[in-house]
Chain A
Amino acid sequence: MPPMEPTLNNPFRRSVVKGLLGTTSFWMASGNARWAEALAAEAAQPYRPVFFDAAEYQFLESACERLFPADHNGPGARALGVAEFLDRQMQTPYARGENWYMSGPFEQGPANLGYQLPFIPKDLYRKGIAGVEHYARQQYGKGFVALSAMQQDEILTALEGGSVQLGDIPGRVFFEQLRTNTLEGAFADPLYGGNRGLGGWVMLGFPGARADFMDWVNQEGASYPIGPVSISGETA
């Protein structure tokens, strides 16, 4: 059985641990102090990808950072843990296409009639990354990770523009999949491995799980004053 999606009852991730440690009294009271310590120790280890191999993971670290770079606005994909988020997502029903209609025949049609490929997200990543690597070596004589930021951007631009085919996958399809999941990783609750330290939310001024704006319905355009909190109770 593939691991389940992380939930509050199954906190196998670092930011959950950090968040829960912020509410130590709860853990002490329920006699879980030793478990909390064990989890904290595990959280200190770097994340080891499960679905992606080391080279694929490095590709994601580089490519996602180009899509969502660290800059004056705030952290980029690398610091936010987007690659970890992607690897964890690959272990969920989403990555297995379990909510997609995947019965054939698979006929191609006009773009506005939507996705018509026989591939689930896991396939798109496996084939897409291999395809980009191949394209990078063909065009630049080096793998994607070894290229300059400018060359990496050229490749991403070509994929987005639709001029590159990656084996059986149109480059644009892979680009959109990667962009979508990268942005999810930057802004989803840290429960899922991305948005580390709530860095994505701080950037946008999104207060996370506060979800109570009774007094803030109309403050005449003033900025909301309270920083974000995550589902597990982590604050920025």
Chain B
Amino acid sequence: MVKHVDAIIVGAGWAGSIMAKELTEAGLSVVMLERGPERTTPVEGAYPDSIDELRGAIRKRLFQNLSQSTVTIRNTMDQTALPYRQLAAFLPGEGVGGAGLHWSGVHFRVAPEDLRLRSAVIERYGEKFIPEGMNLQDYGVTYDELEPFFDKAEKVFGTSGEAYRVQGKIVGDGNVFSPDRSDNFPLPAMKDTFSASVFRDAAKNAGYHPYALPAANASRQYTNTYGCQMGPCNFCGYCSGYDCYLYSKASPNVNILPVLRQDPGFSLIADAHVLRVDLDSTKTKATGVTYLDTKTRKEISLSADLVILGAFQFNNVHLMLVSGIGKPYDPVSNTGTVGRNFVYQTITSSRVWLPPSTYTNQFVGAGGAGVAIDDFNSMNFDHGPLGFVGGSPVWVNQAGVKPIAAALGAGGGGTPRWGSAYKDSLVNTYKHSLGIDAHGSNMAYRDVYLDLDPTWKDAYGQPLLRMTFTWKDNDIRMNQYVVSKIEPIARAMGATKMNLVHLNAGQPFDTRTYQTTHLGGGAIMGDNPQTSAINRYLQSWDVSNVFVIGSNAFPQGMGYNPTGMVAALAYWAAHHIRATYLKSPGPMVKA
């Protein structure tokens, strides 16, 4: 007999945990399936084992185990995609909490115009401004509609920040480009590290508008909406790649699951790899899912009225493709939607050296703390004469640089990577330099997409997902322009030396060095079923009892980090499922 529940949730990260909380609140019986192991902060975050760089960020113990499943990657459609065999460019999560356990905590909302970027670009520069082959699209949802859900997420995450405008009134020294808020941040901004404070002063003197990064690192002790507690962050610097031992960084494990686990309507099954969503013969209704218990190697089917995919961007797309949900995207005929508009994040890290009497103490930091400027992000500057779409915040986000990471990254670019001269530069760089990032948008293109690989398979016999991805001219020029703005700021900081890093014309995507885990698109939201896989409520156009929650919904990659937007979209979708869908299940938008 197949066990039946009201709702199945695939994936125990932020997206899955938020949906599970909302649906159990609505009185549904909910099962959350997670392919990785059980993880709780008292175990994974226990000091001092948790702050071991080799075991943590270097051997990557909290990340996805690629031996079981991975992706293949190629730059262009005429290449053979090859397996991503070793974790490097991006670091997907696995286990309860997902990447939300080992993320950094930069917690943004969205630039309102990024939600209607196609319309905004056309209004300002005309349709011809959009380059050939760029699939620029609107989300189909506005900032005003999402605002209550950004607010709700911040109060769950315990986000620290400085507001600029609340209910129309200027209240503080926050980001002048940020939209109106219904309420302040729940916690005051994190303190500026020394490096960030130097950047703040220099950026201000250069006429820009620095602001404290909004951080899901608690600047003070905090009890969230659900009654979960966070302790004050001490800038230990072990956010990215680690479970925070002080309960200061927001994670599903600390901020949601402790209460959710108490709910009799909720159960969480770890070590449960979902193989597919089961559909009825019409392919318009999901009947449940089939998963493999990876401990017993038994296949188990569960039936449900509602299936929520929260397995992370590319895993959501993979599950849709292997289950037959929606029509796979074909870049040649330009038809289908699943796999379309696969996007990432442009990022380049430049380095500035301060005088030898000045110590930047780079090990001090917090994942979400720092100072940024938005003067070159989104639509905040005139793209007319520049001829590209998109932009980048620029920031000093000193998140705690560890010695192995510093040593591996030192040298290169014509300077020695080993030997005594290398040691000189490593020591000097570690003690006296700081990093400045341009963390920017990435547009969608017709020939950049996801589909199933014809050759390689995962440990369960299913085809790997194939990524066809490279950097395009529009995004490279955007990055170069923004990086050029760093130089005068660095001079004003008193740089004795700088190494400005930007993407180069024609430079292909390189899978060997970490960039970000901010992958997006592939099953995007929108108001047209011909060009989007899910509607504005993140509901599959084709299988209406499947909702697909995650950054897969982004039609293009924005300058900001994705998770704040993912959380708001999850709360938005959940709100409409509770208010509308559960009362009369079926498509919430007419196709």
**A residues engaging B (CB < 8 A)?**
5, 7-8, 66-69, 71, 73-74, 94, 97-103, 105, 107, 109-116, 153, 156, 160, 179-180, 183-184, 186-189, 191-192, 200-201, 203-207, 209, 211-214, 216-224, 231
Contacts and interface: CB of A to CB of B under 8 A. Distances in A.
A74 B427 CA distance: 10
Interface stretch (B23-31, B296-304, B504-512, B566-574): B504-512
A183 B59 CA distance: 14
Most chain B C-beta atoms within 10 Å of own C-beta, residue among A113, A179, A224: A113
Contact of B194 (A110, A214, A220): A220
7 contacts: A73-B423, A100-B66, A101-B83, A103-B83, A189-B54, A204-B403, A214-B235
Given A116-B85, A183-B408, A217-B364, A200 B403 contact: yes
Nearest to B70: A101
A224 B49 contact: no
A15 B24 CA distance: 50
A7 B419 CA distance: 31
Contacts of A105: 455-456
Given A101-B66, A113-B511, A214 B234 contact: yes
A102 B427 contact: no
Contacts of B500: none
Interface string B211-233: 00000000000000000000010
Given A183-B407, A186-B407, A203-B423, 15 more contacts: A8-B49, A98-B67, A99-B59, A101-B86, A113-B511, A114-B85, A160-B418, A189-B52, A204-B406, A205-B430, A209-B51, A216-B235, A218-B191, A218-B194, A231-B49
Interface residues of B, number: 73
A156 B418 contact: yes
Nearest to A102: B67
Nearest to B405: A187
Contact of B74 (A113, A187, A214, A222): A113
B176 interface: no
Interface stretch (B114-122, B151-159, B355-363): B355-363
B358 A221 contact: yes
B171 interface: no
Contact of A188 (B54, B75, B85): B54
Interface string B449-465: 00000011101000000
Given A184-B58, A213-B235, A221 B51 contact: no
Given A101-B83, A114-B84, A67 B419 contact: yes
Closest 5 pairs (CB-CB, A-B): A187-B403, A221-B358, A211-B236, A188-B54, A183-B407
Contact of B47 (A110, A156, A160, A211): A211
Contacts of B511: 112-114
B88 A114 contact: yes
A165 to B, nearest CB: 20
Contacts of B508: 110, 112
B192 A218 contact: yes
Nearest to A186: B407
Nearest to B51: A211
B385 interface: no
A187 B52 contact: no
Given A107-B82, A183-B407, A205-B430, A101 B67 contact: yes
B566 to A, nearest CB: 26
B73 interface: yes
Given A99-B66, A188-B53, A219 B194 contact: yes
Contact of B86 (A69, A100, A183): A100
A223 B420 contact: no
A204 B194 contact: no
A169 to B, nearest CB: 15
Interface string B49-64: 1011111001110000
A214 B236 CA distance: 8
Nearest to A111: B512
A8 B352 CA distance: 39
Given A68-B418, A205-B359, A222-B359, A217 B191 contact: yes
B85 A67 contact: no
B492 interface: no
Nearest to B53: A188
Nearest to B403: A187
Contacts of A220: 194
A205 B403 CA distance: 9
A204 B357 contact: no
B436 to A, nearest CB: 17
B238 interface: yes
A29 B32 CA distance: 45
Contacts of A212: 234, 236
Contacts of A97: 67
Contact of A160 (B417, B426, B456, B512): B417
B146 interface: no
B354 interface: yes
A146 to B, nearest CB: 20
A51 to B, nearest CB: 17
Nearest to A71: B420
Given A112-B512, A213-B235, A189 B82 contact: no
A117 B70 CA distance: 16
A211 B45 CA distance: 13
A138 B236 CA distance: 51
A115 B359 CA distance: 37
Contact of A218 (B65, B74, B197, B358): B197
